[in-house]
Structure 1
Amino acid sequence: MKLGFIGFGPQAKENIIPCCQLISGVEIAGICEKDAHRRRQAQERFRLDCGYSDYRQMIDDLHPDAVIAACYPDDHYEIARFCLDRSIPVFVEKPPAPSSRHLEELITLARRKRTTTGVGMNFRFAAVSTRLKALASGQLSSISLRHYCNKPTDPFWNYASTLRSFLHAQTIHSLDFLIDLCGPVDELAVFGGDEASVIDMTVMVTFANGQHASLITANTSPHFVFDFDAVCSDGRHISSSALWHMGVTEVGKVYANEEEKRWSEHWAPSPLDSGYQRSGYAGQMAEFLAAVEEGRESRISFASVAETYRCLDQIESQVAGRRYIPKPAMHSLTREAV
C-alpha cells in the first residue's frame, strides 16, 4: 500500500509514520513538508527521490493508495476535500475541520464518494481504554474524568478564541473518550468556563443509554493529566492514572486473610511495550489502513466524530451564553460499535 504523508513534524516523525511502518506491506511513497530543512530530513531518512512542498503535486505525481496528514490543522479541511474529490482515502490528525458545518461537508462528500476517512483519535485505542471497555462492558454506571493540561492559553490555529482552541485541541480527546465509551449524549451542562486566558470547567453529561459522566478540565496544570474513576452497577470500581496504571476494586471479593476491604488489583503495561500500543497510535493507524484495504468505513471516520463536534459546539455555546444547539439528523450520530 503506497502512502503519501503530509507533514514531517514531531507528531509524524515520532508517532504516525513509525506506526505505519509496523504494518506489513506499507510503502512510504512520498512526504510533503513546507519547511525546507524538515523536507530534506524526510528525503534522507526514507531515501526518497524528491521532497514535495505542495501536497497537490505529490498526490498528482504519486497516486497514493491513501494520504495521511499530520500537519498544521489549518490545512486539514482542504487536504481532506482535495483527497475526497479524487476518491483517495484520507486520514487527518485532529481536529479534522474548523467547525461542525465543515465536518458535515466532509462526511457528505466521503459518503458520496464511498471513500474511507480517518481522524487521529488515538485515545479510543489506548491500552487502558480497551481494558476499561472489557471490564465495564454492559455494567458501567458512571465515570468521572479529569483532563488537565497547560495549553492553549491564547487562540491558535487561526481560531477566534482561546476557548475554541482549547476545545478542539484538548477537550476533543476527553469528550470523544467518553462518547466512544458510552454512546450518544442526551443532555450536557457546563459549569465554570473561561476568563481571559484561564479555562476551568466541569461538564456534566447524561448519555442516551442512561449512563452519566463528569469531565473536569482546565488549562492551568503544569503537566498533562488524564485520570478517571468508573463505577459499575455490579459493584466494580475501575480507576486509571495517566493512561498507564489501572486499578480494580470489587464489592464482596475476598483477598488475603479473608479480607474484603482495602484491597484492589492493579494492571500496568509491560516494560517491553513499545508505547505506540499503550498510547493508541498503533491501533488507530492499523484500523484506518485495514479499512482502506477492505474498502469500508473506518471506526475513526469523519462521521464517527460528528457527535463529539456537536457536544463541543454545545459546550462553547453554553459558556458563551448562547442558545441550546439541537441534535442534528440521525445520520450524523450513526457510529460503528468499537
Structure 2
Amino acid sequence: MAIRRVTPAREALRYGIIGPGTHAQENLLPALAVLDGARLTAVAARRPEAAAEAARRWGASLWTDDWTELVEGGSESGRSVDALIVAGSPGLHANVLERALAEGISVFAEKPPAPDTAALERLVAIEQTAPAGTVAFVGFNFPYGQSYRKLRETLRPHGTLRTLDIRMVSAKPTSPAWDCATVADSLLQGLGTHAVDLALRELGVPDRITARRAEIDTRRLAIRIFLEYADGRLATVLVGNYSNRLEYQCELVTDEGVVGGLDHFNTLTVARPATAPGTGVLDSKETLRYDWPGRRGGYGRTGYATELESFHRSVIRGEPSDSPLSSALDVYRVLDDVRRQTGALA
C-alpha cells in the first residue's frame, strides 16, 4: 500500500489559563493536555515567575502577570485565546467571568464561581446577555466523574431516586480562606458547594432545609444538612474538615429498593433485597461490586477530563453548557440558608 498523508485536523481551540496553581497543575492542565482539539496558548498568574514556569511546563507560547491581557485585543483576530479556564478564588472567578463574558470569550470557572449570591446573580444576568455562542461553565467535577456516571447508569433501570446521602470530608480548611470570615463559611464554599450541587442535580430544589453544626475542636467542625421534599424524598449531606485527606462517599436508594454506593471515585457497589422487583445477580443477599480500573486514568474517573470535554464541546458547537452559572444559583441559596442556621457567618 502506498504511503498516505494525514488529513489536517481543524484548527485547535486556543485556551488560556488564569491561576496555574496546584489544583490546576494536578487536575485541569493534565486533562486539558489530552483534550482533542484543544491547545494551551497562554498562562496568567500573579507572579511573573509562576506564569513563565507554567507556560514552559505546559507548552504555552505566551505568559503574563496581568490576566486582563487575555481578554483584551478588541477583535477576535487580535486575541490570544478563544476560551479561558480560571482556577483561583471566588472573587477572581467572578472578575474574570464578568469581563470575559461581556467580551464574548467563553469561560470554564472552577467552583465556587462567585463570592456570594448577590455577585452570582449579577453574573447570571451577564451570562444571559453575553454575545451568542459565549459559554459559561462552572467546574463541579463530582457529577462528571466516570465512576459516578457508571453508578447512575447502573441504577437507572431500577426506579427513581428516593434518598441520597453524601459525605465529603477533608483536612482543610482549618483557617478562614477566600476572604471568608470563618472556617465554617470557608468549608461551605469549598466542600459544601460540591455536595449540595450533587444533591440538587439529582433531586431538585428542596422544600425544607435543616442544618446542624458540631464542633470537633477549636479548628475542626462538621456540618450536616438535611434536604426534605414534599413527596417524601430526602437527601443528607455531611461536610467536615476533620479528616487527614479528602474522603468522598455517596449512597443512592431507588423506589425499587436498589441501593448504589460509591467509595471515593474507585469502588461502586449495588445491592437490592430479594423482595424487590426483577431478577438477576442482585437477588437475595448478593452485592455487585465494581472496582474502577486504574488503567483508565484518574482524570476521567474524577470528572476533570469529562467536564472539560463538555465545556469544549459546547464552545465548539456554540451551545449552552450543561453547568451554567444560572444552575449554581439554587446551590448558593441553599447554602445561604445553611449559613443562617449554623452561624457560619458569625
TM range (shorter): 0.7 to 0.9
Give the equivalent residue in structure 2 for 1:327. Answer: none
Q: Please, what is the CA RMSD of the aligned residues?
A: 2.1
Q: Given residue 320 of structure 1, which amino acid in structure 2 is its aligned partner?
A: G
Conserved in 1, the CA contact under 8 Å of 2:175 and 2:182?
yes
Q: After alignment, is 246-255 or 51-60 more displaced?
A: 246-255
Q: Give the match for residue 206 of structure 2.
A: 185
2:176 to 140, 155, 179: 155
Conserved 8 A contact 1:183-1:208:
no
Whether 1:144 and 2:156 are equivalent positions in the alignment is: no
- In structure 2, the CA distance between the partners of 1:208 and 1:103, relative to structure 1 (3 Å rule), is farther
What is the match of residue 140 of structure 2?
A: 121
Matching of residue 134 in structure 1 with residue 153 in structure 2:
yes
Percent identical pairs in the alignment equals 24
| Matching residue of 2:5 | none
Rounded Cα–Cα distance in structure 2 between residues aligned with 1:147 and 1:291: 29
Alignment gaps of 5+ in structure 1: 323-338
1:44 to 44, 47, 56: 56
- Following the alignment from structure 1 to structure 2, what is the Cα–Cα distance between the partners of residues 289 and 209? 37
What's the CA shift for 1:210?
Answer: 4.3
Cα distance, 1:105–1:265 mapped onto 2, change above 3 Å: same
Query: Do the aligned residues in 1 keep the contact of 2:272 with 2:284 (CA within 8 Å)?
Result: no
Change in CA separation of 1:199 and 1:45 when aligned onto 2, cut-off 3 Å: same
Scaled by the length of structure 1, what TM-score is found?
A: 0.88
Superposed, 1:239-254 pairs within 5 Å as: 239-252=261-274
Choose from 59, 62, 69 the match for 1:57: 69
Structure 1 distance, partners of 2:25, 2:241, is 26
Question: 1:332 aligns to what?
Answer: none
Distance, in Å, in 1 between the alignment partners of 2:210 and 2:292 is 35
Give the whole-Å Cα distance in 2 for the aligned partners of 1:109 and 1:254.
Answer: 51
**Counterpart selection for 1:33 from 30, 45, 48:** 45
2:245 alignment partner in structure 1: 223
Task: Specify every segment of 5 or more residues in structure 2 that has no aligned partner in the other structure, as ranges.
Answer: 1-12, 74-78
Number of matched pairs: 319
* Residue equivalent to 1:96: 113
Aligned to 2:254: 232
Shift of 1:272: 0.8
Q: Say if 2:42 and 2:63, in contact at 8 Å, map to a contact too.
A: yes
1:291 aligns with 2:314: yes
Q: C-alpha displacement at 1:311, in angstroms?
A: 0.7
Q: Which of 104, 110, 124 is the aligned partner of 1:107? A: 124
